[in-house]
Amino acid sequence: MNAQMMDQIFVESYMMMNLEITFAGVRNWFELAETSIDDAALFGALLFPEQIPSDFRSEFARMILYRHEDMYFQASRTHHSIGTEDPIRDTSEPVHQLLVRLMNVRSLHGNENALIDLGVALHKDKALNVPLYQSLHRYFQMNA
């Protein structure tokens, strides 16, 4: 895919993360579509779409660019949990918050600063007794 398309996918996914759905919701969306991707790969694909594995690009782009036509999003916008927390709609979930923050850093300060901030966040997280981003800890091993 060309650079302009990757920039558009980033903008679309950034808007989606801020206004429509959470990281857990996107993960669930891919699971519903029977598309397997682990958290670290999905996180990287949303933050740096130009690094999406080639065998996954067309599926990822289709799902992001045509999200409003997808029944999952129609259901997600109208669904309200009664009496319980809905993990798919939890905007305070740590991985979602980290992704939104890093997408903001990337859009304002560039890819390198977003990568540095991600590295610092994951390094600090690994030192915690109860890590917040454990499913992302292998991000840099995957992309080495």
- Residue-level pLDDT at 41: 86
Per residue in 23-79, pLDDT tens?
Answer: 888 888 778 777 778 899 888 888 887 777 777 777 777 776 665 555 555 555 555
In tens, the pLDDT along 69-112 reads 555 555 555 555 444 567 777 888 899 999 989 988 998 898 99
Distance, in Å, from the CA atom of 55 to the CA atom of 64, rounded to the nearest integer, reads 16
**What does the pLDDT read at residue 65?**
62
Quick check: 77 and 68 in contact, CB under 8 A?
no
pTM for this one?
0.68
Q: Which pLDDT does position 127 carry in this prediction?
A: 95
pLDDT of amino acid 30: 78
At 60, give phi and psi (nearest 5°).
Answer: -65, -50
**Domain ranges, ordered by start, for the chain:** 3-142
Per-residue model confidence (pLDDT) at position 79: 52
Residues in CB range of 89: below 8 A, 6 or more apart: 22, 25, 76, 79, 81
